[in-house]
Structure 1
Amino acid sequence: MIPEKTINKDLILRERLALQRTNLANQTTYLAFLRTSLYFFIAEISVESLLKIDNSFYIEIIFFIISAVIFIMGIINFFKQKKMIGENEKNIGDYKIDYFE
């Protein structure tokens, strides 16, 4: 006689909660990228009024490029991590295969 396996519902709940925490951490990381990008954008706007330099236009362009790069990196990172989280979320439901085959 084959012993029946019991479903560990605590493990499933723990995995779901871990994925939710991971999803929230991904969103927090995206917001950090956005905040940093905005800081560089604000620096770009305020360079001309704070620094009385003849070629402050070039410094503004550099800050704008850095801001855009950080923003794009944040978006790419967010969607890449979101895809990985979604792929791992599918594995939570596979407990039925282990217990009911």
Structure 2
Amino acid sequence: MKLSRKNVQIKEDLITRDWLAIDRTRMANERTFLAYLRTFIVVLSSGVAIIRVEVLQEMYDLGIFLLVVAPVILLIGIARFLYVRRHIRKYFTVK
């Protein structure tokens, strides 16, 4: 499917291979976000476990640290996902 230059925001027409590359980039972006999400869940649950388990009370400060770091990891993942998605749409969207 070829599009005219006025419909695509890049300088040349896209061929099927280019559309597939864009789709792979989108899927890679989603996988990266899911990796950030998975890391957030593990760090958050580790922090909660350290705080709640009595045997690990000497590591209480580490649990608090993990609870503080977990949302930061999630925010970085969301920001990166939106940044890459915006760039993909900026350069490869059909008007």
TM range (shorter): 0.7 to 0.9
User: Which of the residues 16, 25, 39 maps onto 1:22?
Assistant: 25
Q: Which runs of 4+ in 1 moved over 4 A?
A: none
1:61 to 2:45 alignment: no
Provide, for residues 22-44 of structure 1, a one-character-per-residue CA deviation record: whole Å limited to 9, x for no partner.
00000000000000011100111
Partner of 1:33: 36
Alignment of 1:84 with 2:87, yes or no, is: yes
Query: As a proportion of its length, which structure holds more helix?
Result: 1
Gaps of 5+ in 1: 1-6, 94-101
Q: Aligned partner of 1:74: which letter? A: G
Cα distance in 1 between the residues matched to 2:15 and 2:49: 51
Instruction: State the one-letter code of the partner of 1:24.
Output: M
CA distance in 2, matches of 1:52, 1:30: 33
Query: 2:55 aligned with 1:44, yes or no?
Result: no
1:72 matches 2:75: yes
Identity across the alignment (%): 29
Structure 2 letter corresponding to 1:52: Q
For residue 89 of structure 1, report the CA deviation from its aligned partner. Answer: 1.0
Q: Secondary structure at the match of 1:52?
A: helix
Task: Give the whole-Å Cα distance in 1 for the aligned partners of 2:57 and 2:86.
Answer: 46
Task: Write the distance in 1 (CA, Å) between the matches of 2:20 and 2:88.
Answer: 12
Letter in 1 for 2:27: L
Residue deviations 1:38-71 (CA, integer Å, cap 9, x gap)? 1100111110315132x71x32221011111100
Mapped to 2, the partners of 1:45 and 1:61 lie a distance apart of: 8
Gaps of 5+ in 2: 3-13
